[in-house]
Amino acid sequence: MAAVGSGGSNAAAGPGAVSAGSLEPGTASAAHRRLKYISLAVLVVQNASLILSIRYARTLPGDRFFATTAVVMAEVLKGLTCLLLLFAQKRGNVKHLALFLHEAVLVQYVDTLKLAVPSLIYTLQNNLQYVAISNLPAATFQVSPRPSTALAELAGMGEM
């Protein structure tokens, strides 16, 4: 997870650094292609089950939970999962993890600020998703076009 500078070189070379050559299309081995399809299948199942479980929970009689609480807790869970994966990538070394996080978040603060706008829009989208799921049948919601789906399809056209 090394950051690539404007000159195209890796900012941090070492274990876990991604070389520019490994990101070019056509260099994926059979194992990488298999991993892509397994990841796609897992994401499809996860997305479908998420929609159905949210719809079920939002249509139960009684008090509803706040959508904002659900969104924040989902993001906290994602953040903790990312920290756990980074911790494993750094081979359990807390000092290396702290140095990496300091470098990636504080030293390269411009990149962190650039991610703030899409993050806020994504949070708003997730909150609106709960409103839509509460008011639409699950099948209608699932097949409704969503901006993030369209953008993901456009970004990944050449990847598969």
pTM score, whole prediction: 0.58
Which one is predicted more confidently, 2 or 39?
Answer: 39
Instruction: Please state, in angstroms and rounded to a whole number, the distance separating the CA atoms of residues 5 and 153.
Output: 27
pLDDT for residue 6 is more than 90: no
Domain boundaries, the chain: 29-147
Could you write out the DSSP letters of every residue in 23-78? GSTT---HHHHHHHHHHHHHHHHHHHHHHHHHHHHHHSSSPPPPHHHHHHHHHHHH
Residue-level pLDDT at 30? 83
Tens-place pLDDT, residues 28-74: 688 888 888 898 899 888 888 888 888 888 888 888 888 888 888 88
pLDDT at 151: 58
Nearest in space to 141 (alpha carbons), one of 17, 47, 64 = 47
Residue 21's pLDDT is 46
CA atoms of 44 and 95, how far apart (whole Å): 37
Give CA–CA dist 15/90, Å, rounded.
9
Alpha carbons 106 and 84: distance in angstroms, whole number: 19
Among 2-6, 27-31, 63-67, 123-127, which stretch is predicted with the lowest mean pLDDT? 2-6
CA distance 115 to 42: 26
